[in-house]
Structure 1
Amino acid sequence: MAPTIYTQYGVAMVAIFFFIFWCSLWLLHLLAIIYGKFRLHQKPKPQLGDAVPLPGVTILKPLLGIDSNLSSNLETFFKMDYPKYEIMFCIEDDTDPAIMVVKSLMDKYPSVDANLFIGGSCVGVNPKINNLHKAYEAASYEFILISDSGIRMKEDTLQDMMSFMSEGTALVHQMPFTQDREGFAATLEKIYFGTAQSRIYLVADLLRVNCHTGMSGLMRKAALDEEGGLKTFGCYLAEDFFIAKSFKDRKWRIRICSQPALQNSGICEVNMFQARLTRWAKLRMAMLPTIIFFEPLSECMLIGALAAWAVSVLFKWDSLCFYLIHILLWFMCDWLLLSIVQNGTLPFNKFDFVVGWLFRECSGPCLFLHALFNPAIRWRSREFRLAWGGIAEEIKPARVDSYRIHKPYLIN
């Protein structure tokens, strides 16, 4: 008799855990929708006039190869409405075709302070840090914007980011999103970044939890130099997370601005996007091992099934009916959140959203399992192994001559 009582008690406790976890996810949904409506797409705050001029910004752009959108994406940085900034393009290989794209834009906009750095420095295993290090050391201004090659800027984006850089803030970053593009892969990307990613990102910012992704972040250079500069984080692949962590550990604030980052890579394929999500999952598992247990439970299909079982145990409700209602409500909340993040007409219809949403929700747990059982990380042609804590070791080290140092090409 006693074992049966203990078994029933254990089952009830497990059911209570899953039900509470399910409730917490719905609270997260509601917080993301409310906070997103309040936080995103604000107009930049009015400036204080000439008496308080905007500070200068050094923009670091790491480049590797070209795609069909690279030139138009980079051109948006030459056309920003900001009084004082410099752009430093960083290219590791002197045969990279991106060099010609950058030079043509520098010739087209001679009034913009733009420099081209060819060649990197070997300061760690992180290819991005190695590529940026020389330009970082040569930065002229007190604020650094690190922006990935596929990011597209609006004219007032830099103003928007700077308007959130208060005295106690060391990092203002953009929430990841995507530019409107055609095709199923583009739809899938927009759905992911506008629902699953933005839900976590918005609530993390609200609760002041580190959620920095690194694709577009404005940093206070003095705060970064206190830790030894950018090269200090060259031992990590997820340098963005650890840079933000170092700020928070020293009581600096990190914030998102009101404009999401518009990713606009010219190469948009489902398999490449899924490989990217898998790589991010591997990084999260190495940095925060508890993710291995909790992240799969945050997926709609899995937590819905577990919660349906839980309510059948606790309240004797019909589990199938509960599960279907759960999926419908989750779907509707995601549509609402995506509409808030988009702040305009979506580039696809509701049927496309249904197909893309179901594909994302069903494939998410599979990608996580793949990341769990294949921990090695491939970044372009290189492969890395992560230790617990996020420190990376390259499995196949690059040749020494891949870090050739060249004098930068300057026009201003």
Structure 2
Amino acid sequence: MALMIYTLYGFAIFFFVFWSVMWLLHLIAIFYGKYRLHKKVEDKQGDDCYPGISILKPLMGTDPHLVSNLETFFTMRYPTYEILFCVEDEKDPSIDVINSLINKYPKVVTKLFIGGSLVGVNPKINNMHRAYEASSYDFILISDSGIRMKEDTLQDMVNHMTEKTGIVHQMPFTCDRNGFAATYEKIYFGTAQARMYLVADCLRINCHTGMSTLMRKQVLEDLGGIKTFGCYLAEDFFIAKTFIEKGWRTAISSQPAMQNSGNYDVHSFQERLTRWAKLRVAMLPLVIVFEPLSECMVIGACAGWAASLLFKAEPLVFYLIHTLVWFMCDWILLSIVQNGSLPFNKFDFIVGWLFRECSGPYLFIIAVFDNSIRWRSRSFKLDWGGRAHEIKPRIKC
């Protein structure tokens, strides 16, 4: 009996301490986000202060926003860069879009690579490998197809590339779009994802995602090139992990990565969230314990029970206050990341926020009990440690 009581109090103390740490993370994210994001980009004196950059742009298929998204790469205010488009299939409809932009902007150095290489199970690495091998400059920017750039985005990223920094990446966010799915995505990336990203960058923890990332090519070359990471689906995490192990720092730039895919819906986005959760579980098994507890509804219930046991607090009142304050902190953080008026009203935010918070634990449970990943038309199985193999393998890794 005494052992059971001690065990209950032990769990209660653990939950309450974890709950307190989560509030500390909220504060770090809000203050660090205000300090770090959306800084004015200062021009360095002389074009020779800016190194040449090779932009690797892997594409597959097209969507209503592809033309306008890609065009932002042709209109950047940066002295020296090249755009290397990577398309796996010679019949891919994105080729016509690329050729039309090449004809429209003949002064921009551009190359189109059709047909990937088989260097691993990662489709993105396979698609980019030939372009990477042909890149001309000392810095590589890998940018997903749905990313939009501002005129000074490259300058902003380069300004954060210090002598000890090996990777500068953009924190994922979204452009303003219409509909509930767009609201759902913006709330996720501006709250739960932003909190994790900002705290990790502040504490110098690997939080790298490969949506938009600038890297030193020579460091990659010393590691064997990008093909070295072809056996991972989460190649971005392992690239950053290896850079850090070699003594290099990673940093986020002040401008978030503006995702602007023209095809989006709730189901597709939840599939992305589930896929990312599966990758985190495979790479960092402790995520199974700590990630669910970082969810508002889960840790609120656990902390409410702990407070009732330790301090005789009313658990329902505790839970409601906890949820309200968490909601307010998320609104503040989203406003900081947005850096302007939000494209939806407070009622839309309440609905989207509640949907995100209530569905988060459910999606994580799905991810834990199914380690298969479907990526476009291909399916993979994840092994502990992050390595992957294709269910119907075309190559061995």
TM interval, short-chain normalised: over 0.9
Q: Which runs of 5+ in 1 are unaligned?
A: 401-412
Moved more, 107-116 or 37-46: 37-46
1:93 paired residue among 89, 100, 115: 89
TM-aligned CA deviation for residue 396 of structure 1: 1.6
Residue 23 of structure 1 pairs with residue 1 of structure 2? no
Q: Deviations over 1:54-81 (max 9, x none)?
A: 1000000000000000010000000000
Letter in 1 for 2:24: L
Q: CA deviation at 1:399?
A: 9.0
Contact map agreement 2:118 2:395 (CA 8 A) in 1: no
Which AA in structure 1 matches 2:233?
A: L
1:398 positional shift: 4.5
Separation (CA, whole Å) in 2 of partners of 1:90 and 1:274:
27
What's the CA shift string for 1:293-323, capped at 9, x where partnerless?
1100000000000000000000000000000
**What residue number does 1:37 align with?**
34
Q: CA deviation at 1:92?
A: 0.3
Residue 231 of structure 2 is aligned to residue 235 of structure 1: yes
The answer on whether the counterparts of 2:43 and 2:155 sit within 8 Å (CA) in structure 1 is: no
Counterpart of 2:220 in structure 1 is: 224
Secondary structure, aligned partner of 1:214: coil
For residues 65 and 95 of structure 1, the distance between their equivalents in structure 2, rounded to whole angstroms, comes to 9
Match 2:43 to one of 46, 50, 58: 46
Q: Indicate the residue corresponding to 1:340 in structure 2.
A: 336
From 266, 272, 275, the counterpart of 2:271: 275
Q: 1:188 & 1:22 partners in 2: Cα distance?
A: 25
Q: Secondary structure of the equivalent of 2:49? A: coil
State the distance in 2 between where 1:99 and 1:73 align. Answer: 14
1:88-137 per-position Cα deviation (integer Å, ceiling 9, x unaligned): 00000000000000000000000000110000000000000000000000
User: Match of 2:301?
Assistant: 305
Structure-1 separation of matches of 2:129 and 2:105: 25
Gaps of 5+ in 2: none
Cα distance, 1:374 vs. partner? 1.3
Number of the residue aligned with 1:8: 5
Secondary structure at the counterpart of residue 87 of structure 1: strand
Q: Is 1:125–2:121 an aligned residue pair? A: yes
Structure 1 stretches of 4+ moved >2 Å: 397-400
> In the alignment, which residue of structure 2 is the partner of 1:193?
189
**Structure 1 position 45, deviation (Å):** 2.8
TM-score, with normalisation over the residues of structure 1?
A: 0.95
Q: Check 1:166–1:399 CA distance in 2 against 1; reply closer, same or farther (3 A cut).
A: closer
SS in 1 for 2:322: helix
Tell me how many residue pairs correspond in the alignment: 396
Identity %: 69
1:206 alignment counterpart: 202
Distance of 1:53 and 1:20 partners within structure 2: 48
